[in-house]
Structure 1
Amino acid sequence: MSLTGCSDWQSALHAHGANARRILTLIWTFSAVAATTWLLVMLVLATALFRGRLREASRSPLQIDSHQERRLGIAVGSATALTVLVLTALTIGSFFAGKSIASLSGSEVITIRVTGHQWWWEIRYPKIASSQEVVTANEIHIPVGEPVRVKLDSLDVIHSFWVPSLAGKRDLIPGRPSELTLIADKPGIYRGQCAEFCGYQHAHMAITVVAESREAFDAWRFGQDADAIAPASDEEHRGQAAFLGTGCALCHAIRGTPAGGTVGPDLTHIANRRSLAADTLAMTPGALAAWIADPQSIKPGAKMPSIALSADDLNAVVTYLGSLE
């Protein structure tokens, strides 16, 4: 999974936040020190091999040169001392980088909760004034330039929350809540990934962070606060009836309807999301139909079962869910 942090929009080498920049500085510092150390070791090794060959012709290999031994002792001692100094400097640098990252957690204006499930992310935005709690899945919206505290927890196994372009990794251990701070410098879409093996579909447990202006964020937050819109056509009415009359409503919630399940993601505004199944599929009618019809063929091991729907009912459910913006 380490290579997933090197791609363009999910890259630890393309920092777009204060936390990520501090981590990137550490990456380049450690890399530079490691590269320099390797070059010096190779240079010393080459020199020793070259000189050793010259000495072989001039004296017996059993002959001891006291001056040479003294010089070698000094060289080894100096190298040891230098190693200790470098490791100490890197440790101190790492400590202060971590302290600097932690200092960013004191001025957050937004706090959200992210819960890891096998294999998707549940995101909760708390009530603001007269608004209600917003529950969504696999997609976090944040305002640009503002620290956002993310409180993390897991309800099943150990997961790890990692959005390389914005922050470092943080493990989600059941019963041991943790947190980190996200800050985005500019608008954009940043992809994250579960970085701790958590089961069969670990590789298909991605998360998307959408950084946008404060105005766009407020508009999104206001829209998410509303209940699901009522069906407007016969096809949507049929889709809602099929959704409520099958097992769908037992696992999923749609605010404003009798559906109140908590096993799967809240679908109140599913049509506003960019993807399905933790970024496994793009949010399109065809992908949505395929996911509903046979989720196990797309994400084997997922908790969502196949629901027996006729072709007409399946199309109606897709139409209904596609209207939930």
Structure 2
Amino acid sequence: MMFLNALLVSLLHVFLSSTSLVRAQGQLTAAEDIATQYSLTTSTSIPFPSATLSSADAANFIQDLSNDWSLSKGKIQNLPNDTDFVPDPFPNSPTPGLAPSNTSGPVLQVTYPAGSLHLNGGTQLYSLWNTSDGSVFNSMLLSYELAFDAGFDWVKGGKLPGLRGGPDPDGCSGGNQPNGSDCFSTRMMWRTDGQGEVYAYIPTPNNLCNDNGIICNDDGFGESIDRGKFSFVAGQWNRITMLVQMNNPPSIANGNLKLYYNDVLAISQVNLQYRSALSVNAGGLYLSTFFGGNDQSWAPPNTTHTYFRNFRLWGSSAASNLTGSTVSAATSTHEVAWLVGIICLALGMGAVGF
């Protein structure tokens, strides 16, 4: 009888453990399943070399037309020499969540020299996803893995890859605000202590800046979405999966944003306006990463690195079909700052810092 009781207890423990495991796994969603859920039937991946490459050769590989990175203007926009392809720095630290598609081969290393900001550390490029039939993407899913050096000093924050689109390949970053018909961008960002967020350059109608989880930065730069809903971990791999669906029609704020961290849904915003004109679509990978911020209080005290691998994208011509509010004619926060600045200059009062 004692043996039978022990056996029953053991079986019960196994059952409860299995149930908990299934329940936990139910919270995990692979990028492929997200693509299926949103009918994103077209896919591509960013090719990496089969051997390690130092900075000059790494930049040549990325910019070589035959390697299909499809760079905007045919080149890395900022600091190509801060890129290398190196061996996996954390081979014994698999990415949490579901199994990645590829963990072999070199990974992309980005260097941030001590004291550097966006003009002298990190890198930036725009990989356009051009379809052979000339169709455009109104929904796009990006998935990639990244790692930070062990002991990474987060300082005040920095930018990480995301998505961008629209006919203007240069706006929607660095304080260049969107007008709704030129561009949008949705990069990732780390903040103090590794807090994560989506950092977006998008219109902000319908009092979006007053919504919970939305921080419209007073300096006139981008909008922080759901800061601190998750935190990056240094010294291991992390996985980011981002879904962007254009608002449709452009006069309705029903744009969809989903962010999965290590395959668990961390951020969901469904009331966004990415565009006010059909000229803005999802264009591709915006690999933009640096410390900052725009002053030295953001800069790293020591040279440090991030690492990237498994850049994959899925897309569809279909936009969001969610319900949403009609975009009001109310002036956005950034437009107010611009108008006040113009008025002050006209009155000889000098520019006002917003």
**Normalising by structure 2, what TM-score?**
0.25
Tell me which of the two structures has the higher relative contact order, counting C-alpha pairs closer than 8 angstroms and 6 or more residues apart: 2
Q: Which one has the bigger helix percentage?
A: 1
